[in-house]
Structure 1
């Protein structure tokens, strides 16, 4: 990271822009921004209306969502293509990634627990699949694209100033994965800052099941795995191997260990293989892919190959093809005690199952010793009885008040789940 940005106070404003040199070529915008220079972009950031027919229709659809007694769900924001979310620790501003070319900044200015503004963040930057968003404890926003990682200090304040924001390159374009492995398939990343202050990134691989002659190179580069690195991009290593396509990870606040979801192999049948919730308490473990398609189910392509020694099987086997994505541990105080320390996970919904399944939020209790209880459906109704999707949940993250945000890239929305008299 640029040394200047390391020293940047989080309360800094965008005043430096007025004195910065003007006009850099569009392809050089990140370099300019990392040097506190203007890009010459004066176009106002795209804004998303929060009232009108679309918002009304989304609220109407939420009447079909079923929750446990005492819970309610409301529309928090209209956010096109909403995928993974990162909530800024001090202000509660929500940054939302997409699988397209936008990152959205969602601001609840009045603390009514509904968005006042939704605007495009850092519109001077040309993003490519900026799905992965996560904050460090000291307020640096990391955006993990398909093949690049950027850092934005004080993003919630710089984003208010217009299209130019302070930025730093953590991993340059084309250096997160070999460019030959770039694909429209499994290119959406997820990220977290770990208790060790390192940046963790889940890297999917581009096949349903990779060819055997590609496996060694995939593993060398951390694809089909989870990598970690210092927050400035140095000291990269592969933390977890044998992961097909994880798009959700979080650390248990009790013991600081990593958990993650994993999407499993398609085309093996309606009811196999199961989706996975995995626990990775230490570096170097192998979670079985591609020798296993999910759970203990062997793939046809690798059934005659010997799996690595010591394969770690999932803590939870989710329903087959439900497409388990974003997840988070619940640490708030709003929900009843039984939810404390457990995992909420979003199931995006199946795409090639004879009878669709998923489009819901599930909850798994996690005990003090790291063992798990029975997984249960917590919120459902985005999949209509006739098999039509009304929405497809992607991520679940907790607001400071203990309520839960749910993103939906199909309907283009973020919902808020609260409990009791809290609103």
Structure 2
């Protein structure tokens, strides 16, 4: 798992010193405390060298174990547990040179913000644990020649893959280890420039509808609204025909989607805007309402107007829906999965969220997987650290979690795209 890439961690001046997430409980939950926006000061760059895991492992709660079930991958992003227990891993790196921020180019650190130097695989890898002992003996390429695959879904013998530029469909037979033939294109997806390239994916409970999360092409429309056509929203796609329409809008970067068991409700984690302070704007977890508008670019967290945006749109601001649950500012949530009873009583009802980690705070946040408890179908209380230790207190970074997937048999599967590892967390024997 050797890698030598650099992680760029930005620092702000003393005037903008940010407190860590664990000391700011008001940053979490349904009613986060929002400070006044701070504009005009750019962070200073401080470079930290990532470290290999060696004999170290991420930290998990008492009564749980963690193991690396696949290593030396090529930028693992999201995972999917198939009906027979096999795991598919989407590997790749998307975007384009034009999506890089000016300070990245000026500093000459294009790949330095905590990204692996490994070339993205543009493939799906299949992992198999034949005897059910938690050790995945088989690792093989299921499909290749893809274009930055990210979102994955399985419906009635069909495997759906969201490339950065198109939604694809493979035929799938239980137990197969390699795709037979090229995939069928379901529909094209917006990909020009691709400031936010990831395309999240979820399937409705009945399998007839697919939901695709499509991020904005800018922070706050710096490229103009023409570049934002069909973006910053969730698409509703007919799984058979590929016909699509906006399902919900004003979601700056919906990076992961999940269907709530028992209700069929669509949920998303969303990365919010940058450059108005270390404690703005909260990334969030929310139920996604059909026809709903969630503020971007005109406002955030309901009716908090972003006065950088021109022209303003008071009517849209008035209609903006306040998200359900703040995860904290700049945690960069990239994965979400509803739990299952097999994960243990404390973690049976709620969602796991993979937090890739901040790049623009003097005191970084994220770099962990948290559990958000639910009660009565809604998130309640503060998030609980479930897997941590990806970043040490001295700033050493060994991994960055992306996708999280609950195996119904009782394990959490985590994609780590810095160390190119798939981690498996499960209740210890006898628990």
Instruction: Say whether the fold is shared (TM-score over 0.5).
Output: yes
Contact 2:217 2:223 in 1 (8 A): no
1:148 to 154, 162, 166: 166
Give distance in 2, aligned partners of 1:235 and 1:413.
36
Q: How does 1:121-270 map to 2 (within 5 A)?
A: 121-123=142-144, 126-136=145-155, 138-154=156-172, 157-160=175-178, 164-165=180-181, 167-171=183-187, 175-177=188-190, 181-183=192-194, 185-197=195-207, 198-211=209-222, 213-214=224-225, 218-219=228-229, 221=230, 223-270=231-278
- How much does 1:149 deviate? 1.4
Change (3 A) 1:295 1:422: farther
Q: Which residue of 2 aligns with 1:318?
A: 327
Structure with more of its chain in helix, by fraction: 1
* Highest RCO, 1 vs 2 (Cα 8 Å, sep ≥ 6): 2
The one-character-per-residue Cα deviations of 1:338-369 (angstroms, maximum 9, x if unpaired) are 32230100000011222221110111111225
Q: CA RMSD in A?
A: 2.3
TM-score (structure 1 length as normaliser): 0.77
- How much does 1:297 deviate? 4.4
Q: Which residue of 2 aligns with 1:409?
A: 417
Give distance in 2, aligned partners of 1:268 and 1:388.
26
Q: How does 1:13-412 map to 2 (within 5 A)?
A: 58=53, 60-62=55-57, 65-78=58-71, 79-99=73-93, 100=120, 101-123=122-144, 126-136=145-155, 138-154=156-172, 157-160=175-178, 164-165=180-181, 167-171=183-187, 175-177=188-190, 181-183=192-194, 185-197=195-207, 198-211=209-222, 213-214=224-225, 218-219=228-229, 221=230, 223-280=231-288, 282-293=289-300, 297-302=304-309, 304-308=312-316, 309-331=318-340, 333-412=341-420
Give distance in 2, aligned partners of 1:91 and 1:364.
25
Give distance in 2, aligned partners of 1:296 and 1:390.
38
- Detail structure 1 runs of 4+ shifted over 4 Å in the superposition: 155-158, 293-297
Give distance in 2, aligned partners of 1:316 and 1:358.
16
Partner SS state of residue 375, structure 2: coil
- How much does 1:316 deviate? 1.0
Contact 1:324 1:345 in 2 (8 A): yes
- How much does 1:154 deviate? 1.3
- How much does 1:127 deviate? 1.4
- How much does 1:59 deviate? 6.2
Contact 2:285 2:326 in 1 (8 A): yes
| Unaligned stretches of 5+ residues in structure 2 | 1-51, 94-119
Partner SS state of residue 225, structure 2: helix
Give distance in 1, aligned partners of 2:163 and 2:92.
9
Give distance in 1, aligned partners of 2:129 and 2:381.
35
TM-score (structure 2 length as normaliser): 0.75
Give distance in 2, aligned partners of 1:389 and 1:69.
23
Q: Which residue of 1 aligns with 2:115?
A: none
Contact 1:97 1:132 in 2 (8 A): no
Structure with more of its chain in strand, by fraction: 2
- How much does 1:157 deviate? 4.6
Give distance in 2, aligned partners of 1:413 and 1:351.
21
Give distance in 2, aligned partners of 1:176 and 1:86.
21
Contact 1:88 1:94 in 2 (8 A): yes
| Unaligned stretches of 5+ residues in structure 1 | 1-56
- How much does 1:106 deviate? 1.7
Change (3 A) 1:115 1:289: same
Give distance in 2, aligned partners of 1:68 and 1:218.
42
Give distance in 2, aligned partners of 1:73 and 1:148.
34
